[in-house]
Amino acid sequence: MTRPEIICHMITSLDGRLLADRWPCSEDTLLQIYDDAAERLGAGGWIVGRRTMEHYLASGSPAPGPARPSRPDHIAPHDGASIGICFDRHGSLQPESGEIDGEHLVLVLSETVSDAHVEMLIARGVSVIFAGPEGDRLDEALDRIGAAFGVTRLLLEGGGRMNGVFLAADLIDETSTLIYPVVDGQSGVAAIYDNDSTTEARRLELISSETLDSGAVWLRHRVLPRADATRAQAAE
Ligand SMILES: NC(=O)c1ccc[n+]([C@@H]2O[C@H](COP(=O)([O-])OP(=O)(O)OC[C@H]3O[C@@H](n4cnc5c(N)ncnc54)[C@H](OP(=O)(O)O)[C@@H]3O)[C@@H](O)[C@H]2O)c1
Pocket of ligand 1, beta carbon within 6 A: 10-12, 18-20, 48-52, 55, 87, 89-90, 92, 135-136, 157-162, 165, 190, 194
How distant is the alpha carbon of residue 61 from its chain centre? 22
Q: What is the model's pLDDT at position 112?
A: 94
Rounded distance between C-alpha atoms, residue 180 and residue 215, angstroms: 7
Cα-to-centroid distance, 111 and ligand 1 (Å):
20
Cα-to-centroid distance, 57 and ligand 1 (Å):
14
| Each residue's pLDDT tens digit, 84-103 | 999 999 999 999 999 999 99
| Each residue's pLDDT tens digit, 15-31 | 999 999 999 999 999 99
- Percentage of residues in the chain with pLDDT exceeding 70? 100
Q: What is the model's pLDDT at position 79?
A: 87
> Distance of CA 87 to CAs 12, 14, 208, 215, 229, Å?
22, 28, 30, 33, 29
| Each residue's pLDDT tens digit, 191-220 | 999 999 988 999 999 999 999 999 999 999
Assign 164 a pLDDT band (cuts: 50, 70, 90): very high
Rounded distance between C-alpha atoms, residue 153 and residue 149, angstroms: 11
pTM of the complete model: 0.95
What is the rounded average pLDDT for all residues in the chain?
95
Q: What is the model's pLDDT at position 1?
A: 61
Rg, Å, the chain Cα set: 18
Cα-to-centroid distance, 115 and ligand 1 (Å):
25
